[in-house]
Amino acid sequence: MQLDSPPAPSAPSILETLPVPNLPTQDCPRRVRMDLDLLILAIESLDVAGSEALLKVSDQLGLQSVIPGRVKLWRIRSTNPMRRQNQRDPLSIAEAKALTIVICFLAKRLSVLMRQLLLGSQQLSDKQLAFDHHFRLADYLLRFRSLFRARMNPQRAGVIAYSTDEKLNELAISLLTRLLFCTGTQGPQRLWSSLFDGEVV
């Protein structure tokens, strides 16, 4: 007697809220892999428990089949070609969708802090003062620079471009702006669309 094989597990329904981009393959382009990892790095710099929060939120949102644990999350993030421990495995559309949704969920929690930091950054720039004059902003920038330099490969061309504190500060602040952009209505859809801007066929 031949038994039918069990059906393949369906993707979490929340992933269906994001469209499938029209790409040549179903693997994510290089820039998407880099952007998602850097956005998570910014969240970790805002909240020291950011990586733990990412796992908890993925469980709350029913994304365990895509991000089942810490090791899988590390492997997904290591598809970023800028990393020291770069995984050559592709990043699937489902994995990218899951990260996008979780990033937006966490960004919404941190939106008040991000607004404060961006306002402080603008005020200091207007007065031509160093970021050290704003303790919380300086702390975020210091942590971001430290995490970036610890995790990214200094031999990569994309990393060499951020060899100075000034360039890393600019990157860290631009990531805050992107995170804040995805906290409003249709945040995940807006971030998802921006990730593939110029990539879609």
Would you list the DSSP string of 31-58? Answer: HHHHHHHHHHHHHHHH-TTHHHHHHHHH
pLDDT at 6 over 50: no
Tell me if 174 is assigned to some domain.
yes
| Three-state SS at 178 | helix
Residue 157: exposure state from Cβ atoms within 10 A (0-12, 13-18, ≥19): exposed
Tell me if 82 is assigned to some domain.
yes
> Does residue 30 or residue 50 have the better pLDDT?
30
Q: Looking at the DSSP assignment, which residues form a beta bridge with residue 92?
A: 27
Tell me if 191 is assigned to some domain.
no
Tell me if 21 is assigned to some domain.
no
Tell me if 6 is assigned to some domain.
no
Tell me if 172 is assigned to some domain.
yes
Tell me if 137 is assigned to some domain.
yes
| Mean pLDDT value across residues 40-58 | 90
Count up the domains in the chain and report the number. Answer: 1
pLDDT at 148 over 90: yes
Q: What pLDDT score was predicted for residue 11?
A: 67
Range of the structural domain that residue 155 is part of: 27-186
> Of all residues in the chain, what percent are helix, strand and coil, respectively (each to 5)?
60, 0, 35
Please say whether the beta carbons of 149 and 159 come within 8 A: no
Tell me if 10 is assigned to some domain.
no
pTM for the model stands at 0.90
Q: What pLDDT score was predicted for residue 23?
A: 83
Give the span between the Cα atoms of 2 and 76, in whole angstroms: 37
